[in-house]
Amino acid sequence: MIPGWVPDGPWIDGVRHDGAEALPVVSPSDGTLVATVRAAGPQDVHRAVRAAEAASRDRRWLGVPVLERQRVMGRAAQALRAHDGDLGRLIAREMGMPETAARYVEVPYAAGVLDYYAGLVASVSGETLPVDIPGVDPAFHVFTTRRPVEVAALITPWNFPLLLPVWKVAAALAAGSAVVLKPAPEAPLTALALVALLESAGVPPGVINVLPGGDAVGEALCTHPGVRHISFTGSSAAGRAVAAQAGQGLKRVQLELGGKSPALVFADADVDSAVSQCLFGVYFNSGQVCQAASRILVHESQYAPFLEQFTARAQALRVGAATDPDTDLGPLVRPSQVAFIQDHVDRALAGGARCLLGGHPLAGPGSFYAPTVLADVSPALSVFQDELFGPVAVVTPFATDLEGLRLANATPYGLAAAVFTRDLRRALSISGALAAGTVWINTSQMQSPTVPFGGMKASGWGRELGRAGLEEFLDTQATWIDLHEAPPTYF
């Protein structure tokens, strides 16, 4: 059962709608039905966009005094913390993140993002600018104002069903935008809980509308003439489709896409620390993390001891149901994901990789895959190049700094990277040469609401979090005022 305060269908203009068809939400831990949600249809998409347009046009949110908007967002953050138990259970049941991680990591982080963007609400301002016009006395007063993107479509994946919607919603609220949020069909419940909590905190109806559903709903949003900005998080393949659809309407697009992030362990690294950080980088959320540092590149002098310690510690990880408090790794989101990973692992073994641990599904019920360590992985293999979204560590040796850097940059992705070394000069030199939007030095997977996040190459366009995330939802307007007593004559 889902909490009674959580809607179970499209939420538009503060009202729950029946939608077009039933959308089953299935637990990846045991395959049982968690809930049935009503999916949005074409009419719901149009209705939601029109509701957001109306909320934007009548300044339903932007017209609220700035300090009150800050207070509303602060109350929303507190509401998330107060409902951490309900939210943790929802996240665990619908997508399989261990409930302890959902409750004590994802929920507090999401609340912190709301707090951070509440603090930026009053910072949205323009500036006064000097001008230079050849042959004309510059007696003009010129200033800029920042205006919110009127209607934004927010399309989010299932792997962090609270945090990733909050990244986008909080930045949009700070800017003053009205939005339509489409969560992944595998995990719509948490997004519906989010909008209920936001409106209970004082966000006016119509400012945030939620449409559960699949690809057809996302495509309809991308092509709807009332949507002016699209913020999408998902795979690189899906991002290309979103960009193509949005391009037909010349819509603004922000894309946070896939990754195949490297971790470089140099000869002088603290191996114990590197192993700990790399375990977290590979196996957190069962590897279902876009910036997971799943390619571990180890200097040949440290290769054997690193593999021995890493494999022993990975073997000790506990795999189980997401609701079990002793679980380290929960299930994968669906059975097809297990089959996808197995296909890549089988091809890697046929291509010369060694399996030191795992390499197979675990007995059900549920979509479980064993923590896996693959050694001696060639850069030509698909497990080195492709995003797997599973608990698979790919380990490859290198001989020189230049070779390590070349291997790190040898994929189409550029989301994140980790560097482990005691040499500050090497750390800064290597980090500056890595094609990655985020570089961690002697750590991994760290994020803060204050720090921008996003990728290079096939990992996306634009940034989320930090001031940069707010800028994605703002337009700049320049206004000129002529102060001449007699206007200049041009002809």
Please name the residue that has the structure tokens 């190459």: 457
Within the chain, how many helices (H) and strands (E) appear?
16, 22
Selection from 188, 162, 211, 204 nearest residue 73 by Cα: 204
Active site residue: 168, 182, 251, 260, which one? 168
Q: Tell me how far the alpha carbon of residue 341 is from its chain's centroid.
A: 21
CA angle, 260 as apex, 325 and 426 as ends, to 5°? 105
Active site residue: 182, 186, 251, 290, which one? 290
290 belongs to the catalytic site: yes
User: Distance between CA atoms of 377 and 262, rounded to whole angstroms?
Assistant: 13
222 belongs to the catalytic site: no
Q: Which long-range contacts (CB under 8 A, 24 or more apart) does 232-236 make?
A: 232/155, 232/256, 233/155, 233/156, 233/157, 233/164, 233/168, 233/257, 233/290, 234/155, 234/156, 234/157, 234/258, 235/387, 236/387, 236/412, 236/413, 236/458, 236/459, 236/460
Query: Radius of gyration (Cα) for the chain, nearest Å?
Result: 24
User: Distance between CA atoms of 99 and 101, rounded to whole angstroms?
Assistant: 5
Active site residue: 186, 256, 387, 472, which one? 256
Active site residue: 150, 186, 464, 472, which one? 464
All residues at 6 or more sequence positions from 349 whose CB lies less than 8 Å from its CB, including other chains: 355, 359, 374
Q: Give the residue numbers marked as catalytic.
A: 168, 256, 290, 464
